[in-house]
Chains A and B, each alone.
Chain A
Amino acid sequence: MSGAGEDRMSTNEWPLWEVFIRSKQGLDHRHVGSLHAVDSAQAVRMARDVYTRRMEGVSIWVVPSNSITASDPDDKAEMFDPAADKIYRHPTFYVLPKEVEHM
């Protein structure tokens, strides 16, 4: 780990980690909350105990909170509006032959 790790460790508090869970049938990891742990291995194990109650088949990601960069909500307009008029990105735009309708 680099200098960012040293910053986190300079206080006596355990670092904060954000937790993302993908359920057994899920497609994406969803943010579920945070917890304190001293390293990534402990963070994963604790996430399992706290956020999944040890359900099987779930995938857990933990990320140091400091590592997350968030978009500025005031940028919303420029960053997201343009997608609204590109409707060809949406699957329902296309009418497909019956044989491949499930795609």
Chain B
Amino acid sequence: MVVGSRSVRRSRDRVVGIGLPGTVLGVGLGGFVDGILLHQLLQWHHMLSSSDADNVGVPTYSPDTVPGLRMNTVWDGLFHTFTWLAVLIGLGLLYARVTSGRGALWTSRALWGWVLVGWGLFNVVEGVIDHHLLGIHHVRGGAHQLWWDLAFLALGVVLIVVGWLMQRGGTRQPASTG
């Protein structure tokens, strides 16, 4: 990353090549939306809150019992670690990739577009694996849980599309000026 900073000519490329860091950052931030909003504020689900009806034979851990809540909390802790690593690694990669004009990056459409893509990706991957394949928890357990899970996936797809369009608009700009 030090070598890159020596190159002055790269300045125009500053929005190119931030796809990976922006997406990783977005995955982390998306995880926080899920973790803080759904787990904590709304208390819709915990990591293993549907483990009584899962598809892979995870023992039942009801969040209403003390050991069950502890297990759920452990898994929430692992999830917490994952989201934080994604945020910090995303920022680190971003710093390594973008070697100049960092001050302007904060307001660039490309970055926030990729962050939205990452958020959407988080929803889709987390949704498919945890809600549909493993079935260890649902967005909102109950009679209509399939609809909530599908809405979660749909939100993910919308975020990816919107983010993708946003970052495309962002890269076009410097290409035309430089």
- Do A and B assemble together? no
Q: Which B residues have a C-beta under 8 Å from some C-beta of A? A: none
